[in-house]
């Protein structure tokens, strides 16, 4: 399809992302309604739901033939990634949104027959927009991101949720200890989408997690790849946009080092 058509879609989506961000900032003047989902620490608010509905209504009226995969379930139930699919996390980092009022993002990745066409990750309170269009590189607030670092693991800063260092059902509890021991530093920001675009921006050299849903990484993956990073499962396999799985987004050298070390470690 015509590049211009996709560029127009990205421009439209950028306006929506900025408008949704402004609505979230404005909502902070009002009381927040917080509920829990799968467990007491899995939070969802009225703003997660309202923001997803905001996107769904606009996408459906502008692009009725497109599909939507959204965390809060207002989009479609998909069994295939064929066609044009908008993958949305209306608020990534809801715990940060509720407790810190910062460090959360809106994440949007648009795929056509499984190919990432454009990605947008908006750090709402910093007003930082990370973006990428297929084949045209990645930007932060319209300024090109100049490509990822070329660090080795021993000079790398790695984004990692500390939960994965405790007993869990996915890997032996000590499987990722080498990352903490070998990397120069480990950080945990509480928004997967933000941590993935931090790899694109060179603020991190890797982001590793045992379990992530497609909406957590769909937008960031396009941006990170356009900046020169590699994105796979922790075992080095291609990511499947319809399932939860482990995710490793890293600069090429660091990615290779982590995958080689983890070979055979997962359940």
The answer to the question of residue 75 lying near ligand IPD (CB under 6 A) is: no
Residue 212, contacted partner among ligand IPD, Ca ion, none, CB below 5-8 A by kind: ligand IPD
Which residues, at least 6 apart from 257, have a Cβ–Cβ distance to it below 8 Å?
152, 153
On whether 91 is known to bind a ligand per the annotation, the reply is yes
Residue 123, contacted partner among ligand IPD, Ca ion, none, CB below 5-8 A by kind: none
Instruction: Decide: 43 and 35 in contact? Cβ < 8 Å.
Output: yes
Q: Among 21, 70, 93, 109, which residue sits at the site for ligand IPD (rule: CB under 6 A)? A: 93
Q: Which residue is nearest to Ca ion (CB)?
A: 92
What separation in angstroms does the CA of 16 have from each of 50, 88, 266?
13, 12, 39
Q: Which residue is nearest to ligand IPD (CB)?
A: 192
Choose the stretch contacting ligand IPD; rule: CB under 6 A; options: 76-84, 86-94, 128-136, 252-260: 86-94
Query: Which residues bind to Ca ion, rule: CB under 5 A?
Result: 71, 89, 91-92, 216
Choose the stretch contacting ligand IPD; rule: CB under 6 A; options: 19-27, 60-68, 185-193, 247-255: 185-193
The answer to the question of residue 233 lying near ligand IPD (CB under 6 A) is: no
E strands, the chain, are: 34-36, 43-45, 67-70, 84-92, 105-112, 115-123, 128-133, 138-140, 143-144, 157-160, 185-187, 206-212, 230-232, 245-250
**In terms of CB distance, is 71 or 123 closer to ligand IPD?**
71
CA distance 84 to 220: 17
Residue 191, contacted partner among ligand IPD, Ca ion, none, CB below 5-8 A by kind: ligand IPD
Can you spell out the DSSP letters for 173-201? TTTTHHHHHHSSEEE--S-HHHHHHHHHH
Q: Considering the complex, what minimum distance in angstroms separates the CB of residue 95 from ligand IPD?
A: 6
CA distance from start to end of the chain: 41
**In terms of CB distance, is 104 or 118 closer to ligand IPD?**
104
On whether 8 is known to bind a ligand per the annotation, the reply is no
CA distance 16 to 107: 12
Q: Considering the complex, what minimum distance in angstroms separates the CB of residue 214 from ligand IPD?
A: 11
CA distance 118 to 224: 11
Report 11-50 residues binding ligand IPD (CB under 6 A): none
Output phi, psi for 85, to 5 deg: -125, 125
Q: Considering the complex, what minimum distance in angstroms separates the CB of residue 93 from ligand IPD?
A: 5
Instruction: Decide: 27 and 45 in contact? Cβ < 8 Å.
Output: no
On whether 222 is known to bind a ligand per the annotation, the reply is no
On whether 216 is known to bind a ligand per the annotation, the reply is yes
The answer to the question of residue 92 lying near ligand IPD (CB under 6 A) is: yes
Closest by Cα among 162, 167, 169, 166 to 266? 169
* Residue set of the binding site: 71, 89, 91-92, 216
* Residue set of the binding site for Mg(2+): 71, 89, 91-92, 216
Binding site for ligand IPD (CB under 6 A): 71, 89, 92-94, 161, 190-192, 212, 216
């Amino acid at each position: 399809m015509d590049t211009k058509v996709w560029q127009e879609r990205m421009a439209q989506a950028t306006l929506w992302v900025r408008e949704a961000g402004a609505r979230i900032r404005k909502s902070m003047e009002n009381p927040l309604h917080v509920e829990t989902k799968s467990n007491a620490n899995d939070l969802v608010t009225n703003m997660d739901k309202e923001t997803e509905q905001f996107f769904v209504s606009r996408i459906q009226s502008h692009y009725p033939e497109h599909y939507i995969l959204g965390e809060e379930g207002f989009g479609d139930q998909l069994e295939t990634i064929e066609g044009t699919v908008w993958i949305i996390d209306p608020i990534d980092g809801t715990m940060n949104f509720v407790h810190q009022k910062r460090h959360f993002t809106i994440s949007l990745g648009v795929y056509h027959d499984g190919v990432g066409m454009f990605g947008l990750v908006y750090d709402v309170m910093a007003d930082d927009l990370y973006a990428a269009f297929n084949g045209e590189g990645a930007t932060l607030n319209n300024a090109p991101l100049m490509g990822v670092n070329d660090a080795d693991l021993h000079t790398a800063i790695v984004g990692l949720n500390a939960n994965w260092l405790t007993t869990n059902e996915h890997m032996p509890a000590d499987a990722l200890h080498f990352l903490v021991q070998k990397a120069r530093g480990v950080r945990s920001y509480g928004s997967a989408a933000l941590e993935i675009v931090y790899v694109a921006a060179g603020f991190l050299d890797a982001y590793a997690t045992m379990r992530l849903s497609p909406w957590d990484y769909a937008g960031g993956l396009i941006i990170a790849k356009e900046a020169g990073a590699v994105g796979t499962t922790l075992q080095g396999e291609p990511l499947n946009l319809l399932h939860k799985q482990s995710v490793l987004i890293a600069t090429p050298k660091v990615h290779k080092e982590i995958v080689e070390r983890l070979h055979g470690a997962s359940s």
